[in-house]
Copies of this chain bind each other. A is one copy, B any other.
Amino acid sequence: MSQKTQTPIEVRYQETDQMGVVYHANYLIWFEIGRTHFIKNLGFDYADMERNGIVSPVVDVHVSYIKPIRYGEKAYIETWLQSYNGIRTTYGYTVFTEDGTAAVTGETEHVIVKKDTFRPLSLRKAYPEWHKAYKEIIKDES
Q: State in angstroms the CA–CA spacing of A115 and B63 once bound together.
A: 22
Contact with B along A35-73 (1 / 0, CB 8 A): 010000000011110100001011111111100101110
Pick the most buried of A17, A36, A45: most chain B CB atoms within 10 A of its CB: A17
A58 near B50: Cβ-Cβ < 8 Å: no
Interface residue range, chain A: 35 or more
Q: State in angstroms the CA–CA spacing of A46 and B12 once bound together.
A: 12
Contact among B10, B14, B16 with A25 in the assembled complex (CB-CB below 8 Å): B14
- Does A137 belong to the interface (CB within 8 Å)? no
Q: State in angstroms the CA–CA spacing of A26 and B15 once bound together.
A: 12
Q: State in angstroms the CA–CA spacing of A48 and B33 once bound together.
A: 27
- Does A84 belong to the interface (CB within 8 Å)? no
Task: Specify which chain B residues have a CB less than 8 angstroms from the CB of A138 in the assembled complex.
Answer: none
A19 near B57: Cβ-Cβ < 8 Å: yes
- 9 A-B pairs within 8 Å (CB atoms) are namely A13-B36, A14-B29, A18-B19, A18-B20, A24-B28, A57-B65, A60-B64, A61-B61, A61-B65
The 8 closest A-B pairs by CB, nearest first: A47-B72, A25-B28, A16-B18, A24-B58, A61-B63, A25-B25, A18-B20, A14-B29
